[in-house]
Amino acid sequence: MKPIFALATVSMALALAPASWSASFGPRFYGDPPDANHPWAVHDGNRPQPRVVTPGTFSTQEQAGKPPADAIILFDGTDLSKWEGSKGAPAKWEVKDGYMQVVPGTGEIRSKEAFGDCQLHVEWAAPSVVKGDSQGRGNSGIFLMGMLEVQVLDCYNNPTYADGTAGGYYGVNPPLVNAVRPPGQFQVYDIVFRRPIYKDGKVLDPGYVTVFVNGILVQDHTPLEGSGGHMGRSKVGPFPEKGAMRLQDHNNTTRFRNIWYRPLPPRMSEGGTDGFLAPEVAQAKRKEIAATVRANATKLANPANPVPQLLDLLESLVYEADAATVQQVEKMTADYLAAVRQLPAEKVAGKKNDTRELANAFKYLTRFKILPADCAAKAGVDKLIVEQGWADKKK
């Protein structure tokens, strides 16, 4: 086919094609583009949508609340099938009335399931009949990965050493406040735990623990200093990737209910792709996004309406300045402009919106120096807009 006939075919197709197309999840060519540490543009329509999770319900003293839809249940008030003794034997604690209770002298229990970074929810209650004082009153503990202890203790009108107070990172960091309810009432712990990340023996991320007691913040993104412990200074070091959760038998009949957790996504230090990334990680992610956008552009190839494909190709350049894609954009833009000019006058007006979308894309790309300011394709689109009187009227 000779070029003149090919161009005529494109012109005819353009005359029949719909006039507009836009991205699915927000405006394109809009916020600041990706940079050395961020693979996504600001307000990026290609950025994955947050996963939908149905929230749970809040607990009352009489009844445990419902966990969120994606929670992994460790104890639902019915049995200890997800728990075992410290050496793998059946757990010997008592279960009744929707809670489990420490049977003093039977030893700690641990979850059969091992897990790592998490949002953890635990509800507990000290005995309503008060006996003892300081560490001898309603004492237990929640050991994340079997290591770091978040203290469980009846601290209602019961002073003790600060780093052993309820909600404390035991032996390391006291809670910001003492937020416990009276003994016999259920206390609600919500914990965010991030283990330390090491590489080649060097710490990339120290890890941290955040704790809410009855809805009040008591550990504020506290950096980890090892597992903590009784009397001895904790030593900084790596944690396992996963570990069982332990509940302590401290010879008090402490009760627990409504225990669940939600696994958390990886952080930047372990391959996550949100936030302020290392340049090599951000660059790799940008190349991946660009390849995905270009693949989608290929699926949109349509001589009857080339603008959707052309816009995707232009968008891919936001993530990666690929020379082959630039050449393809230049050729497609030149073909599009030539085809529009061959349309009958009454059909040309139908290309206003498409052409203005292209102009907006080129304006964005040249503004941020993704394409050169003297880009011929941009100049051609701008010229057509001026010729047709499609430019915005100055106020």
* Overall residue count recorded for the chain in this entry: 395
Distant-in-sequence, close-in-space partners of 391: CB < 8 Å, separation ≥ 6: 385
Judge contact between 153 and 135, C-beta under 8 A: yes
Q: Which two tokens stand for residue 360?
A: 């907006």
pLDDT(25) > 80: no
**Helix or strand or coil: residue 109?**
strand
**Helix or strand or coil: residue 20?**
coil
| pLDDT score recorded for residue 5 | 40
The average pLDDT across 224-244 equals 88
Angle separating helix axes 279-299 and 307-319, nearest 10 degrees: 170
**pTM for this predicted structure:** 0.86
The average pLDDT across 283-299 equals 96
Percentage above 90 pLDDT, the chain: 83
pLDDT tens figures, 37-56: 999 999 999 999 999 999 99
| pLDDT score recorded for residue 160 | 96
The average pLDDT across 135-163 equals 96
pLDDT(328) > 70: yes
pLDDT(291) > 70: yes
CATH topology of domain 72-270: Jelly Rolls (2.60.120)
pLDDT band (50, 70, 90) for residue 22: very low
Distant-in-sequence, close-in-space partners of 24: CB < 8 Å, separation ≥ 6: 45
pLDDT(235) > 70: yes
Distant-in-sequence, close-in-space partners of 45: CB < 8 Å, separation ≥ 6: 23, 24, 25, 26, 27, 28
pLDDT(26) > 90: no
Helix (H) or strand (E) run with residue 340 in it: helix 323-341
Judge contact between 201 and 239, C-beta under 8 A: no
**Helix or strand or coil: residue 119?**
strand
Q: How far apart are CA 250 and CA 136, in angstroms?
A: 8
Where in the sequence of the chain do the CATH 2.60.120.560 domains occur? 72-270
pLDDT band (50, 70, 90) for residue 16: very low
Judge contact between 77 and 105, C-beta under 8 A: no
| pLDDT score recorded for residue 1 | 39
pLDDT band (50, 70, 90) for residue 164: very high
pLDDT(125) > 90: yes
